[in-house]
Chains A and B, each alone.
Chain A
Amino acid sequence: MHIPDGYLSPSTCLTLGAVMLPVWYRASAVVKKSLDVARIPFMAMGAVFAFLIMMFNVPIPDGTTAHAVGSVLIAIVLGPWAAVVAVSVALFIQALVFGDGGMLAFGVNAFNMAVIMPFTGYYMYRLAAGRAAGGSLRAVVAAGIGGYVGLNLAALAAAIEFGIQPLLFTAADGTPLYCPYGLSVAIPAMMTAHLLVAGFVEAAVTALVVKYVWKTAPEVAAPNGNEK
């Protein structure tokens, strides 16, 4: 899901980058308000956690492996605004240092994985968990549902961003200047892989980690999970 440079037009990248500016401002203000001076190490450790989640190769049934993104998981245990900062920082370091995702497309990747994914997944989780106690079976299953929904909506956003490129940016002779796949190709291609495989990986990782965090560190999860 890390979009490299070259697939999206600069205007798409700059527009979504501009959308992200007030989001980052609001996220840092919310985290600052709730955590005061402790915000800096907290945000940094959140970013390290996001990076570690993305590092883990998770086995999938065909014998290969996939990666979880972890945005919904971080939103559930630390709150959605903290997830915005943590995942954005992890994505920035990945793009800048390890070439994973484009630098120009950083705003787009952050919009998909650090905004759409944690917020939709987190509120889906809240809806599905209802008043269930943290760590209960219903809350764990709800976390999995949140992970599944969040990842798929982020993938859908990426597919739409890809799909609008040939509609908007084509040379006079019909050569697509950026992504050549229209909506009718980009959406099925992205969604098939995410609905059938990646979504379940994300759901399993989110549910299991949430379960163990409540089991081993309830003092951390409870105040930031259900009540934020």
Chain B
Amino acid sequence: MNRELPGWLSGAEYGQLPVVHTGWWRRTGYLEKTLADIQQIMAEDMYQSAIAARTGVLQRVEPRVKLIGTGILLLAVALSPSLAALAAVHFLLAGVAVLSGVEIDKYIKRVWIPALLFAGLAALPGTLSWVTPGDAVVVFYQGTGGYHIGSFFLPEQLSVTRQGLMSAAFILLRAAASLGLVTLLVQTTRWPVLTKAIGGLGLPSVFVMVLDLTYRYLFLFLLLLTEYILGRKSRLVAVETPQGKLVWIGGALAGFFRMLWQYSGEITAAMQARGYTGVNHQSSPLRLDILDVCFLSIVVLVAISVWGGSCFAGNLNF
């Protein structure tokens, strides 16, 4: 009898899901956008599963140690008063990503595009002297005095300030570093192992079970939602009215609510039939090897370097 796993089951490679790409200038409908979002999540999950199965540096670190290390670095990054230290963290994270089998282009896309879009763009108006006064770097206009237009006050000068640029850079680098840390944690740890590690650090087992069940059934319902939307699209022959769109969304969500309620009852019955009593033994004893100790030591050193410099210089202000 052949005891080896078949190639499709044991391989770490994954079949990439097609993701819909549309130009930013082309407005797509709400159904297409929702489908594209779901495909993105599915593709992301498949990629994470494939990365977690590889044998990189982070995959070999004990999940609880990795979780503690990520927490320490998240705090250090948030407290860091130095842009140079934050930039260094990014180089370090990119290096660790490569050593853990994460493709660097995918890592950069996963971290920097959301950071630029959600944190960077919103920080941009903060660079102006109207929001952050300070030393002018680029002057857009210089008037002779402030103007009042009704209750609106137009100041004497509009410029990009050094303080504003620094503030925006802090926000962007911190947001991206935080996203990078969490991305590396999640991509190199399978979900059940991660939730078990969170449970091992003190989260009540009830919540660990809820997290596991939510994650498992989320993908089932996202698949059902995809079919639901495709069904809707295939039946659409006329242009929908705005009211019709909202009514369909309301009806679809109510249908899903009813379905979820029924599933809730069936899952409960299935769990009770298997002897589930609400007690969930999740934790196992923590055994550290040399790699875990090295990892934690490096994390502590990096955290002290990132946060510590200006703290010792008496510059601390958080």
Binding site for B on A (CB under 8 A): 4-7, 9-11, 13, 28, 32, 37-49, 51-53, 55-59, 61, 63-65, 77, 85, 89-90, 92-93, 95-99, 102-104, 169-182, 185, 204-205, 207-209, 211-213, 215-217, 220
Contact (Cβ within 8 A) B75 A104:
yes
When A and B form their complex, which 6 residue pairs have the shortest distance between CB atoms, in order from nearest? A208-B250, A212-B254, A44-B213, A180-B126, A5-B178, A6-B174
Which B residues lie within 8 Å of A176 (CB)? 126, 132, 163, 167
Contact (Cβ within 8 A) B179 A5:
yes
Contact (Cβ within 8 A) A11 B318:
yes
- Contact partner of B178 (CB less than 8 A), chosen from A58, A63, A104, A217, is A104
Contact (Cβ within 8 A) B126 A181:
yes
- Also in contact, A57 and B163, with CB within 8 A (given A5-B179, A10-B78, A103-B74): no
Question: Max chain A CB contacts within 10 Å: which of B77, B214, B221?
Answer: B214
Contact (Cβ within 8 A) A209 B254:
yes
Contact (Cβ within 8 A) B131 A45:
no
Contact (Cβ within 8 A) B317 A170:
yes
Which A residues lie within 8 Å of B218 (CB)? 48, 51, 93
Question: Bound complex: CA of A28 vs CA of B210, how far in Å?
Answer: 11
Question: Bound complex: CA of A26 vs CA of B222, how far in Å?
Answer: 30
Q: Can you sample 19 A-B contacts with CB below 8 Å?
A: A4-B118, A7-B122, A10-B78, A37-B268, A41-B265, A42-B268, A45-B264, A59-B29, A99-B179, A99-B182, A104-B78, A171-B315, A174-B132, A175-B166, A185-B131, A208-B254, A209-B253, A217-B258, A217-B261
Question: Bound complex: CA of A177 vs CA of B186, how far in Å?
Answer: 28
Contact (Cβ within 8 A) B214 A90:
yes
- Contact partner of B277 (CB less than 8 A), chosen from A37, A48, A175, A212, is A37
> Which listed segment binds A: B33-41, B137-145, B291-299?
B33-41
Question: Bound complex: CA of A99 vs CA of B114, how far in Å?
Answer: 8
Closest chain A CB from B113 CB (angstroms): 10
Interface: B311 (CB within 8 A): no
Which A residues lie within 8 Å of B317 (CB)? 169-172, 177
Closest chain B CB from A34 CB (angstroms): 14
Interface: B91 (CB within 8 A): no
Closest chain A CB from B281 CB (angstroms): 15
- Also in contact, A213 and B257, with CB within 8 A (given A9-B78, A99-B179, A178-B171): yes
Contact (Cβ within 8 A) B257 A220:
yes
Question: Bound complex: CA of A53 vs CA of B255, how far in Å?
Answer: 12
Closest chain B CB from A29 CB (angstroms): 10
Contact (Cβ within 8 A) A180 B167:
yes
> Which listed segment binds A: B14-22, B56-64, B201-209?
B201-209
Closest chain A CB from B151 CB (angstroms): 12
Residue of B nearest to A64 (CB): B27
- Also in contact, A175 and B254, with CB within 8 A (given A55-B34, A57-B37): no
Closest chain B CB from A196 CB (angstroms): 16
Closest chain B CB from A101 CB (angstroms): 9
Which A residues lie within 8 Å of B75 (CB)? 10, 104
Contact (Cβ within 8 A) A209 B214:
no
> Which listed segment binds A: B1-9, B96-104, B239-247?
B239-247
Interface: B147 (CB within 8 A): no
- Also in contact, A175 and B186, with CB within 8 A (given A64-B27, A104-B78): no
Contact (Cβ within 8 A) A55 B38:
yes
Interface: B133 (CB within 8 A): yes
- Also in contact, A39 and B167, with CB within 8 A (given A5-B175, A52-B253, A59-B30): no
- Also in contact, A55 and B222, with CB within 8 A (given A6-B175, A48-B214, A171-B81): yes
Question: Bound complex: CA of A41 vs CA of B238, how far in Å?
Answer: 40
Question: Max chain B CB contacts within 10 Å: which of A6, A32, A39, A90?
Answer: A6
Question: Bound complex: CA of A171 vs CA of B169, how far in Å?
Answer: 14
Question: Bound complex: CA of A104 vs CA of B79, how far in Å?
Answer: 12
Contact (Cβ within 8 A) A96 B182:
yes
- Also in contact, A56 and B175, with CB within 8 A (given A7-B119, A90-B214, A98-B44): no
- Also in contact, A209 and B250, with CB within 8 A (given A96-B186, A170-B317, A217-B257): yes
Residue of B nearest to A176 (CB): B167
Contact (Cβ within 8 A) B119 A59:
no
Residue of A nearest to B44 (CB): A98
Which A residues lie within 8 Å of B174 (CB)? 5-6
- Also in contact, A49 and B268, with CB within 8 A (given A28-B206, A37-B277, A180-B167): no
Closest chain B CB from A28 CB (angstroms): 6
Which B residues lie within 8 Å of A180 (CB)? 123, 126, 131-132, 164, 167-168, 171
Closest chain A CB from B294 CB (angstroms): 24
Which B residues lie within 8 Å of A179 (CB)? 126, 171
Question: Bound complex: CA of A179 vs CA of B123, how far in Å?
Answer: 8
Residue of A nearest to B27 (CB): A63
Contact (Cβ within 8 A) A213 B254:
yes
- Contact partner of A174 (CB less than 8 A), chosen from B31, B110, B133, B315, is B133
Which B residues lie within 8 Å of A4 (CB)? 115, 118-119, 175, 178-179
- Contact partner of A28 (CB less than 8 A), chosen from B74, B204, B258, is B204
